[in-house]
Structure 1
Amino acid sequence: MWLRLLIILNFSFLIFNCHSYGQRPIGIAFYDVDRIYDTVPALFYDDADYTPEGRLHWTAERYARKIRNTAAVIDSMALPLVALWGVENEQVVRDIAAACRGDYSYLHRTLNSLDGMDFALLYYGDLFYPTRDEPGRRYLYVEGELGRDTVGLALCGDARMAQWVVRDLRAERPHVKLIVLGRSDLPDPGRWGLRDATRRAEQAGRGTVRRGGRWQMRDRILADTALTTSEGDVFARRYLVDQKSGNPLTTYSRGVYRGGYGYSLPVFIYIR
């Protein structure tokens, strides 16, 4: 039932923004793609499970299917900026971008994490022009020109780290309109000139991951109060969710290959 409602809400957000802005709205999404490794063993971290001989029997065919599934979700969203969390390297990002129908440019940075997981940003070069980036521990900051605004996208994979990232960015880049995407734990976003754009969706019972038979909003979007935005929401489609259990169709379930999309649903927002 809530999936059908979400489809209606997603369309309503688009109409609302078109009337409010008098121009095409710009959508931004955050998508935890659920660990996309290539099949080649890494030198500096342990990815042995994600190899053809590994515990998960991660073959070229399974990798190719994961790339197609991820690109299909991105194509369904049809948004000009999509932040990705959980890609192993630039080759993975390049394969995703090539599989998408949209003409995406991409930015990828290596985080030197213990599990090899990185962030990447897919974007339309005619709408967003990156001018600065800073990778860190479980975060990637990308600053660029979006229309007349200088916007900073803080992509976070660690909820506690997000507090330090926001604090430092507000001190060092006070002129930048900030958008925090991913895992964040800011008890008082308003203190930093932000609002939790996904709060209303969470209160309505929607979320990005399923735990104990309930949806939880693990990934969020915090938007600068200086920006005109829609309410953020979860991107849900029927094909992403098991209709019997109500859980996302995962790539693996308890070590068994299922061939699905991932355990997490994307979140999105429209800005002016």
Structure 2
Amino acid sequence: MWRLLIIFNFSCFIFNCTTYGRQPIGIAYYDVDRLYDTVPALFYDDSDYTPEGRLRWTPERYTRKIRNTAAVIDSMALPIVALWGVENEQVVRDLAAACRGDYSYLHRTLNSLDGMDFALLYYGDLFYPTYDESGRRYLYVEGELGRDTVGLVLCSDPRTARWLIGDLREERPHAKLLVMGRTESLFTTDHGLRDRTLRAEKAGRGNVRSARKWRMRDRIWADTALQTSEGDVFARRYLVDQKSGNPLTTYSRGVYRGGYGYSLPVFVYIR
């Protein structure tokens, strides 16, 4: 029932958004669940994700992961997709090449202990990046989106998100912010943001699953100056194990399953 409801709601959002006076622009946030290449890194330990490592991460498995991730992005068919969990620029380049959409990409190295980075796939004729900065567990990308200057804040740590938003409000007051990732319920109206995934959460939906319950771990907060749809979770039957109800993961308890990942994307539309 939950899965059918998500698919129905997604269709409703598409219908409602097409009634806007201006063509809406969809933006998604997707934790791709540790998309490593197979080459051993020099500055952090990724030995599990090598052909000789504990997880036997072979070129064939890497290629399948790229293909699976691209299939999800193609299914969403959105012009801007923020990614968390990519190892390096080559991985992002391979992913962009595997997608049917004509995506440009932006990648920044975060120098994290596990090698995981953020990246952005986007249609260059809709979004034009003009400024970016990166730091511990975050990437900020500012650019022109139609008539608006929009700042995309990608963050994988709730504590980082709190102070980062405060700084951006002071340093980049002209930008309308869209905050995506592991922010949890940390913001108040003092930040001028609305949790656009809150309604979906109250309806019982989420993008990760634990103890047989869905939880909204990744959220989208929109600047009150932006006109957006309610956010939601992108779910399709092929992303979920029909027996357990859990997302089809790449690995489960160290055993290769060949799935997509442990989390589902979240999305919103900007008018």
TM-score (norm 2): 0.99
Alignment of 1:174-253 (within 5 A): 174-253=173-252
Corresponding letter in the other structure for 1:199 = L
1:208-248: CA deviation from partner (whole Å, max 9, x where unpaired): 11011100100000000111100000000000000000000
Secondary structure of the 1:13 match is helix
User: Is residue 87 of structure 1 aligned with residue 86 of structure 2?
Assistant: yes
Contact 2:162 2:186 in 1 (8 A): no
Secondary structure of the 1:7 match is helix
Contact 1:52 1:58 in 2 (8 A): yes
1:168-214: CA deviation from partner (whole Å, max 9, x where unpaired): 00111111100000010443432100000000001111111101110
Counterpart position of 2:258: 259
Corresponding letter in the other structure for 2:61 = R
Contact 1:31 1:83 in 2 (8 A): yes
Between the aligned partners of 1:52 and 1:271, the Cα distance in structure 2 is: 42
Between the aligned partners of 1:188 and 1:60, the Cα distance in structure 2 is: 42
Q: How many residues align?
A: 271
Counterpart position of 1:169: 168
1:31-58: CA deviation from partner (whole Å, max 9, x where unpaired): 0000010000000000000000000000
More deviation, 168-177/120-129 = 168-177
Unmatched runs of 5 consecutive residues or more in structure 2: none
Between the aligned partners of 1:67 and 1:102, the Cα distance in structure 2 is: 14
Between the aligned partners of 2:177 and 2:22, the Cα distance in structure 1 is: 21
Instruction: Note the C-alpha offset of 1:107.
Output: 0.1
Contact 1:140 1:156 in 2 (8 A): yes
Contact 1:14 1:25 in 2 (8 A): no
Instruction: Note the C-alpha offset of 1:159.
Output: 1.3
Counterpart position of 2:57: 58
Contact 1:208 1:234 in 2 (8 A): yes
Contact 2:184 2:219 in 1 (8 A): no
Instruction: Note the C-alpha offset of 1:87.
Output: 0.2
Corresponding letter in the other structure for 1:169 = L
Secondary structure of the 1:34 match is strand
Alignment of 1:104-115 (within 5 A): 104-115=103-114
1:92-146: CA deviation from partner (whole Å, max 9, x where unpaired): 0000000000000000000000000000000000000000000110000000000
Between the aligned partners of 1:128 and 1:200, the Cα distance in structure 2 is: 27
Contact 2:184 2:217 in 1 (8 A): no
Secondary structure of the 1:76 match is helix
User: Is residue 11 of structure 1 aligned with residue 11 of structure 2?
Assistant: yes
Secondary structure of the 1:22 match is coil
User: Is residue 152 of structure 1 aligned with residue 151 of structure 2?
Assistant: yes
* Cα RMSD after superposing both structures: 0.8
Counterpart position of 2:36: 37
Counterpart position of 2:135: 136
Instruction: Note the C-alpha offset of 1:23.
Output: 2.5
Counterpart position of 1:125: 124
Contact 1:31 1:85 in 2 (8 A): yes
Unmatched runs of 5 consecutive residues or more in structure 1: none
Secondary structure of the 2:152 match is strand
Contact 2:162 2:187 in 1 (8 A): no
Corresponding letter in the other structure for 1:156 = C
